[in-house]
Amino acid sequence: MQDADYVQSAFSRIARRYVLTNHVLSMGIDVLWRKRVAAIVAGYQPSSVLDIATGSGDLAEAVAHACPEAQVVGADFCLPMLQEAQKRGIPDLVVADGTDLPFYDNSFDALTVGFGLRNMSSWPVALQEMRRVVAPGGPVVVLDFSLPRPPLAAPYRFYLHKIMPLVAGALTGEKDAYQYLSGSIEQFPSGQAMIDLFKESGFDDCVHQPVSGGIASIYVGEA
């Protein structure tokens, strides 16, 4: 769980350089991760999709391309990030906190969140909100960083704590925001621990898909 005020402030400060920094830090692999999430969602043939913690709209854009007939709504509690999403041409954007979504029950056929659940003030509350606004049987798909197993674990942690904050700090001028990011990845549940959180929140058919050696993970649960 995270300090919502700090997260909102940090992302407001890095909003204009967020996309570039992500691509540099991941060497572009994050684009492929989002495409995989979008393909999973497309398999359900949704007519409406909510992307929460949409940030600059990268995942919402990928989902819209994969599901051209669906209405894709992006929601985020950080207005400067939504302004970046607007520049990308995401038409339906809402200022909203993932732990208190301003939508009726069963409002969407599917829901996605990319690298956002980790930053929310309560992971269980956020997951329960996600399940509430998705129609029964619809997927909730979470993409986020995770910690790989040995032998990748040690070099990844070195990169996470020593290299990434320096590179990101140079690109954004906000080194502290990326030091926070490193710590948040260490604390965030991954693998079976996240699947357990999904199940405790009432999801069915929960699946964990590690990507890129476990550096990131995709979690799918049906409402």
Mean pLDDT score, 26-31: 76
Is the sign of the CA dihedral 34, 105, 1, 169 positive or negative?
positive
What's the pLDDT tens digit per position in 105-132? 999 999 999 988 988 999 999 999 999 9
Closest Cα partner for 58 from 96, 18, 95? 18
Query: Cis bond leading into 150, ω under 30°?
Result: no
Among the listed residues 86, 94, 49, the one whose alpha carbon sits nearest the alpha carbon of residue 68: 49
Quick: pLDDT tens for 42-64. 999 999 999 999 988 999 999 99
At 156, the pLDDT band (50, 70, 90 cuts) reads confident
pLDDT at 133: 98
Q: What is the pLDDT of residues 65-84, one digit of tens each?
A: 999 999 999 999 888 888 88
pLDDT for residue 17: 47
Token representation of residue 156: 């990844």
Q: What is the dihedral of CA 120, 186, 27, 80, to 10 degrees?
A: 20
Beta strands at 216-222 and 204-211: parallel, antiparallel or unpaired: antiparallel
Q: Given the structure tokens 């909730």, which residue do they identify? A: 140
Residues in CB range of 99: below 8 A, 6 or more apart: 120, 121, 122, 125, 126, 129
User: What pTM does this model have?
Assistant: 0.89
